[in-house]
Amino acid sequence: MTISFAGRVAIVTGAGGGLGRDYALELARRGAKVVVNDLGGSRDGTGHSDAALKVVEEITAAGGEAMANGGSVTEYEQMVEMVAKTREKWGGVHILINNAGILRDKSFTKMEPADFELLVKVHLTGSAFATKAVWDTMREQGYGRILMTSSSTGLFGNFGQANYGSAKLGVAGLTKTLYLEGAKYNIRVNTLAPVAATRLTEDIFPEEAFAAFSTDKVVPAALFLVSEDAPTNMIVGGGGGAFHCSWITMNPAVVLPPQEQTVEGFAAAWDRISDRSGDFVPQSGGDQSRVILTALAEAMKA
């Protein structure tokens, strides 16, 4: 069955090139009306360009509908204005792909506080601002599909990217609350951790890897995660045509007897506390408390 986006309105941030451009083009090819948002800055977030207009021209030349927007995701008022113009033109917003991003890689010892602050502002705060701008519209219409862009750096770490990794794990955390708050309004929220050859990764990938990790090979995951039948609260990774899921898990609680509730007692029990054989995937933060309370109740019966 062909997945269609006919009748849907989508906003893609950072869509002037790379992954965002490919998302926008494929959404339009499948019938969506697309807002191509891009400030047009360089990889480190400086400068401006008309990148968004060029993508709009590609879409319209192929018979699709699109409009450009040059708002910065770091300016909430600009995101609100973007959504207002979208609603005025097309009546609603059904899909948001938070894709805008920059890099300022340095080892933590060499990283200036401003480099840390800016990365968090663009990736995490920017995703929150764009999402907040569409949130009430999606609630009112009883439909929304939101995709956050995380990274293996956020999920698993990477040398020289403390700022980027912090922001990207934060984005995954944002997903985990918004999927709960949006559930009764048919708003589904997911996280994508792409591996792709873009300007953000051009000096990370060997030259021969660029073709294998072309941006178009991430598109299937991204578009499925904003489709009508999308799951929610998933973390999906992919690149080169290979895809996987990641989960944040916890294991059952180990109850220490009162006399062992000391630093030394914790140390002695560490092998049991860190045993992953009973791992499961919590569905909300409340599961942690429930697991601990259950373990305490069981211990009292013993």
Name beta bridge partners: 148.
Answer: 98, 191
Angle ∠(49,148,52) on CA atoms, nearest 5: 20
Residue with tokens 């916890």: 250
The HSE-up count of residue 55 (CA atoms within 13 Å, CB side) is 35
Of 45, 25, 192, residue with least CA distance to 117: 45
User: In whole angstroms, what is the distance from residue 239 CA to residue 193 CA?
Assistant: 9
Name beta bridge partners: 126.
Answer: none
Percentage helix, strand, coil for the chain under 3-state DSSP, each rounded to 5: 45, 15, 40
77 class by beta-carbon count within 10 Å (0-12 exposed, 13-18 middle, 19+ buried) = exposed
Do 28 and 59 form a contact (C-beta atoms < 8 A)? yes
User: In whole angstroms, what is the distance from residue 72 CA to residue 294 CA?
Assistant: 47
User: In whole angstroms, what is the distance from residue 301 CA to residue 104 CA?
Assistant: 54
* Catalytic-role residue among 23, 76, 143, 164: 164
Starting at the edge strand that comes first in sequence, how are the strands of the sheet with 187-194 ordered? Answer: 65-69, 33-37, 9-13, 95-98, 144-149, 187-194, 235-239, 242-246
Q: Is the four-CA dihedral 85, 91, 92, 93 of positive or negative sign?
A: negative
164 is catalytic: yes
Just list the catalytic residues: 164
